Amino acid sequence: MKILFATSEAAPFIKTGGLGDVASALPKALAETPNTEVYVFLPYYKAIKDNPDFEIEYITNFTVPLSWRNVYAGLFRAVSKRKKLQYYFIDNEYYFYRDGCYGHYDDGERFAFYSKAILESLQYLDWYPDVIHANDWQTALVPVFLRAHYMNVEKYQPIRTLFTIHNMEYQGRFPDEFVDEVLGLPEDWKPTMHFDTCTNLMKAAIHTADRVSTVSRTYAFEIQDPYYAHGLHDVLRQHAYKLSGVVNGIDTEVFDPAADPLLYANFDASTLEKKAENKQFLQQRLGLAVRDVPMVAMITRLVGHKGVDLVQAVMDDLMWDDLQLVILGTGERQYEDMFRSYAANFPAKMSANILFDNTLAHQLYAGADLVLMPSKQEPCGLTQLIGMRYGTIPIVRETGGLFDTVPAYNIETGEGNGFTFKSYNAHDMLDAVRRAESLFHDKEHWTALQKSVMAYDSSWKRSVQEYWDIYHSLVD
């Protein structure tokens, strides 16, 4: 089977969040299946083009018709010995030779061009996939353009599409004139593109894709509720017959405590004393007191829907407890300043690292005892999966993929992966933290829980099979 994976980011080339990890690990896992070819498409961003570590070759160039304009597109390919997994890059320096992937005034036009260029490039490669797997609003126009402009071309007609929603909050909303000025779609497509006073690219993809998926089973149900759907609940209910939830996995080669080159000391479930060495290293590096107390890590974007407002509400209580809190991430100024202030006042038990640091993230996964994820909504979450891989126990709110992957720990049976709370309430979260603190001092049960979560299968093995079931339902 031939699969085209369309994404706006993928590690190791470019990554700003969880999509970058998924778009790295999932195609790799798919390509390991016999009789499979996977082509991953990315914009040729400045950060990729200027990185000397990547060996990338020119293939060809062509023009992309986009409404009234014909736009240059270059097609490049990463040099690879693996024929079953190839990475292609769509080049246009006007659109992509900029700092940062997102947040530009013309993002709609940039990713409309990118989506159209992916489809145009197939005829120059003379390679036509069985399935195009598009991801989030940046590639939501791929199934739209395929249906609107390419169904009269014989080689495009068998292509089927899967659209995956990684986060409902970001839907690709633009003024209605965007359809004429940028997309150049026929008049009868305007109702498909329109939703709630504007053009909505995610809504259009849900309508036009052959199948729709999201990144956990619980989130697939949640997004049919107004609280989670950001307005699209009725659209998703209408198309529920083609909606599936597939829990994300992680790349267990990248995140492997026994071989991770970024750690102070490598370890596995049989050498947990080495995990304690990582903790001591972290305490020294971050200026924390070197003590055997629970270390709680938050590795996240510092924004409200990640539950940072809950943490803010009980910071005094947390600082009263005999624990250490380490923050890693950037986000809204109010939260950044709040954590900096507490770190200045409690330097022996609080460390605020307001930055993106991949090495420190890996060291936190390895050295911390607990990872806190009190999210208001979490489509899947990778942090809890990575934490468990390193024997770091998650504390989570029961939502989305957190509910699917972190069943509540039961000390009597030994079942469960972590500590949970249901209501979006700061003191319910605090209660979960304190339950975790209490178990930390019960070393027998604590060690047993660490070994149990390290044995949890967080790989893509099961999820890949679920995606194969979707692909085969389309092609068969």
Share of the chain above pLDDT 90, in %: 97
**Strand-pair category, 194-195 with 198-200:** antiparallel
Paired with 195 in beta bridges are 198
Please identify every stretch of the chain with a pLDDT value under 50, giving residue numbers as ranges.
none
Dihedral pair phi/psi, residue 426, rounded to 5°: -65, -40
Q: Please write the tens of the pLDDT for every residue from 163-178.
A: 999 999 999 999 999 9
pLDDT of residue 81: 75
Q: According to the model, what pLDDT value does residue 79 have?
A: 87
CB 39 within 8 A of CB 74: no
* Three-state SS at 213: strand
* 183/392 Cα distance (integer angstroms): 47
**pLDDT for the residue numbered 243:** 98
Q: What pLDDT, on a 0 to 100 scale, did the predictor assign at position 457? A: 94
CB contact at 8 A, 400 and 379: yes
Alpha-helical regions (H) of 272-399: 273-286, 308-313, 315-320, 333-345, 358-367, 383-389
User: What is the C-alpha separation between 189 and 153, in angstroms, rounded?
Assistant: 19
Q: How far apart are CA 307 and CA 324, in angstroms?
A: 19
Question: pLDDT for 236-271, tens place per residue?
Answer: 999 999 999 999 999 999 999 999 999 999 999 999
Confidence at residue 80, expressed as pLDDT on a 0 to 100 scale = 81
Could you give phi then psi for residue 355, rounded to 5 degrees? -170, 170
175: its two tokens: 């003024």
Which residues are registered as beta bridge partners of 86? Answer: 39
251, with CB counted inside 10 A (0-12, 13-18, 19+), is: buried
pLDDT of residue 361: 97
